[in-house]
Structure 1
Amino acid sequence: MSHLDTYAELQFAGIDLLEEADRYSRGELTERGISSREASRLLKLSRTFFSKARHPRKQRDAVEAARRRRHSVDTLEVIRNTARGVHKGAEVGMWDLMVEFCDYEGSYDEIKRRTKQRVLEINLRVPDRVEKARSRRTLHISATITAWGTRRFSGEAPAEDLDGFLPLIDERTRALRKADNKLTFEQAHYDAVKSLLTDGEDGEKLAPVDKTYTPLVVVSAEDAFEIIEGRGDDVLLAATDGTQMTGRDLINERLSDYTYFGLVDPVNGPINLYQGERFANFKQRALARAETILCAWDGCLTPADRCEIHHIDAVSQGGGTDLRWLTPLCGHHNGRNDDDPHAPPKNGRVERINGKIHYRPPDGEPVRHREPVARMGMMDVIDRSPRSPSPDPEP
């Protein structure tokens, strides 16, 4: 049997894979070579089908049907996500649909179309469906920047809302493509939305958003000399909003009137902040963000500027409020952090080890943030300096 045949055969054992994955932690799955993203997906699905449920009999029926129909993991994910879309108060509940959908026959695409149509028909009969649809409105803009220098954004809106302004967007899209036949439909669609946001519906120009930085410059003395001497193209810097730039970009385009300079200690971390002019408020927050650039939780890509300042050792556990106890964590990971280091680990916690911030998982050794931009913060800058003492070995 070829590798491709083995892969195809596994597609028919989706529920068995989820049942087996339910016995492991996320860390144990990644140790087997499964990506962290795929491990999270498998565990989320396995909890649906095998963790304690409010309707255990229906859960068992759904599992039996999924095994009988030999659905793939992808198909089971579609079934769960679509069934969860049924409105509260509908004539059929989520777990009734889970049992029904798991017993469907057909390919992934066929089941995806069929389940979507079924839930839509059910929701259309809910009296307050418009209000319920509106409660699901979202607009997600990614916190990270892609290698292309773009940000991804996606959203969901009530059909009635979109029907109100889509004709205007489509009209501008057609006009833009007529003026420039090299534009793809997707490019023209984006430009149409952007023009409506920046010009207004009646062509009135809105005030542009000021995108200059008031930065805390995380740069070594050697790199600063290169920038001053006009060789900044070769120096890559990181800002605490998660973006990266060259030294030339920083000088020519992005500096505001006020520049921060950070002082760093190789063992204790950031210790003070100085500013070229006027006040230096919130120096602890600024330095904490400059140390990690991103959320300090390994794998999180939220820029430090969008994070909360976390006490590494909680005040209730004897921690202080000076800089060595502070680090940025996004709201999600700040809530998940195991604050009590003496309690049984559940989600993991951030710690300062040998002067640097580490994430200690609940079932493994502490690690530093592996995202490249996170390794451009203050403590890494001094590591790269030839005058810096040899860094202590990682634990």
Structure 2
Amino acid sequence: MTRLQDYARQLASPMELLGEVSGAREADLRRLGLSRQEARSLLALADVYFGPTPFTRRQRSCRATKHCLATLKIIEKYVSRTKSKRDAWALRAELCATDQDVERLARTRLKEMYPPRQPEKGVRMTRRKGGPSTLSITGDSDFIADLHASINEEKPLDSVENIFFRGGATARPAATTNIIIQLDELDEILSGGGEEITLRLTNGAEISGAKLVEKRLAECGLVTLVHPYEGAVNLYRTSRHASEKQRLMAGAENPTCPWAECNYPADKCQIHHLQAWKHGGETNMANLSVACPYHNGVNDDDPHAPPVRGRLERRQGRIVWVPPWANSS
């Protein structure tokens, strides 16, 4: 066996190597020519898989893994994010046994183990030594949206100062954003039974159907009844820019930017051509979507070019983000 073959074997099946490392000292490995970083990495792995632990059964099952040395290091990167030894060994055992994508599974399990905490409503002050301070407000999404609507975006701090200290407070704005109601929910809302129905607004807020009935809408307020219907307003190739009616309908279909985990409100989004205008795309509702300025800019417009960031597509009537590693429709 050549040195290269032996090296490859040790990387592909590392448990024999880690068993040999177990009990050694860093100085012993350094004398063999290993760097300080690699020596410490091997010692840490050896301690996990061969060191003393109350979870001996899980440790034995982990030693049977078929993962290579590099993957074991990745596993430990995610295991280090757990909050107890029991959770650490549970995650490690599952990752060692899986033949799926280790990193994707690890991220999924960590989110399940430690779901993000729901922020508490209130006002918090953050003071920084020698720097600006922060006043943050947490509340229901429609309340925050109304607060934000009262602020002049061109001079936000001056606007807040005027509202707080100069008698510039205004009445709470009436809802003039677009409210999206599914047709099958309309009867229940109008009959007063909409407490369990959540409605989305194109300014990013959410309110219950019952709250909508209580909330007074301005005469110019907009309510869109959504029905699975495509191409209601089509400009084809006569104009690149969407009409105001198309903008309203695109926002009704997607109240926020449909890119994965983006919550940018439709009222502030740009109109995106799913098939790019420069590639022959038409300005029809079936080919339009809202997108925040950032994701509209990074979208992979050319379907024939190597994917980089992914792209928005319409699939089964809905706008979805297609990641670069997925097959395009």
User: How high is the TM-score relative to the length of structure 1?
Assistant: 0.43
Q: What is the match of residue 130 of structure 2?
A: 159
Render the CA deviation track for 1:27-73: whole Å, top value 9, x for unaligned: 966533325999xxxxxxxxxxxxxxxxxxxxxxxxxxxxxxxxxxx
Q: What is the match of residue 263 of structure 2?
A: 301
8 A Cα contact 2:300 2:311, kept in partner = yes
Query: Alpha carbons of 1:257 and 1:147: their partners in 2 closer, same or farther (altered >3 Å)?
Result: farther
Identity percentage of aligned residues: 29
8 A Cα contact 2:179 2:202, kept in partner = no
Task: Return the index of the structure with the highest Cα Rg.
Answer: 2
1:199 aligns with 2:164: yes
Query: Alpha carbons of 1:364 and 1:306: their partners in 2 closer, same or farther (altered >3 Å)?
Result: same
1:287 aligns with 2:249: yes
Q: What is the match of residue 105 of structure 2?
A: 32
| Segment drifting more, 354-363 vs 296-305 | 296-305
Query: Alpha carbons of 1:205 and 1:259: their partners in 2 closer, same or farther (altered >3 Å)?
Result: closer
User: Alignment partner for residue 315 of structure 2, among 353, 376, 379?
Assistant: 353
| Segment drifting more, 304-313 vs 343-352 | 304-313
CA distance in 2, matches of 1:303, 1:2: 50
Render the CA deviation track for 1:278-320: whole Å, top value 9, x for unaligned: xxx7111111111122211122222222322111111111101
Render the CA deviation track for 1:266-285: whole Å, top value 9, x for unaligned: 363x625xxxxxxxx71111
CA distance in 1, matches of 2:300, 2:129: 39
1:349 to partner: Cα distance: 0.3
CA distance in 2, matches of 1:337, 1:245: 31
Structure 2 SS opposite 1:198? helix
Render the CA deviation track for 1:205-242: whole Å, top value 9, x for unaligned: 22336432213332133422222222232322111122
Query: Alpha carbons of 1:216 and 1:352: their partners in 2 closer, same or farther (altered >3 Å)?
Result: same
Query: Alpha carbons of 1:215 and 1:29: their partners in 2 closer, same or farther (altered >3 Å)?
Result: farther
Q: What is the match of residue 101 of structure 1?
A: none
1:242 aligns with 2:204: yes
8 A Cα contact 1:30 1:36, kept in partner = no
Listed as ranges, the matches of 1:239-388 within 5 Å are 239-262=201-224, 264=226, 266=228, 268=230, 271=232, 282-365=244-327
Query: Alpha carbons of 1:161 and 1:348: their partners in 2 closer, same or farther (altered >3 Å)?
Result: closer
The unaligned stretches of length 5 or more in structure 2 are 1-52, 60-69, 79-99, 112-116, 136-158, 234-242
Higher helix proportion (structure 1 or 2): 1
8 A Cα contact 1:264 1:271, kept in partner = no
CA RMSD of aligned residues (A): 4.4
8 A Cα contact 1:295 1:301, kept in partner = yes
1:251 to partner: Cα distance: 2.3
- Amino acid across the alignment from 2:181: V
Render the CA deviation track for 1:163-192: whole Å, top value 9, x for unaligned: xxx9xx9xxxxxxxxxxxxxxxxxxxxxxx
Structure 1 SS opposite 2:256? coil
CA distance in 2, matches of 1:216, 1:316: 30
Structure 2 SS opposite 1:34? helix
CA distance in 2, matches of 1:2, 1:261: 61
CA distance in 2, matches of 1:218, 1:232: 14
Q: What is the match of residue 116 of structure 1?
A: none
Listed as ranges, the matches of 1:29-178 within 5 Å are 30-35=103-108, 159=130
Query: Alpha carbons of 1:308 and 1:29: their partners in 2 closer, same or farther (altered >3 Å)?
Result: farther
Structure 2 SS opposite 1:334? helix
Number of residues of Structure 1 aligned to a counterpart in Structure 2: 207
Query: Alpha carbons of 1:266 and 1:230: their partners in 2 closer, same or farther (altered >3 Å)?
Result: closer
Structure 2 SS opposite 1:342? coil
CA distance in 2, matches of 1:328, 1:290: 9
Query: Alpha carbons of 1:28 and 1:354: their partners in 2 closer, same or farther (altered >3 Å)?
Result: same
CA distance in 1, matches of 2:123, 2:327: 33
8 A Cα contact 1:227 1:247, kept in partner = yes
CA distance in 2, matches of 1:299, 1:314: 23
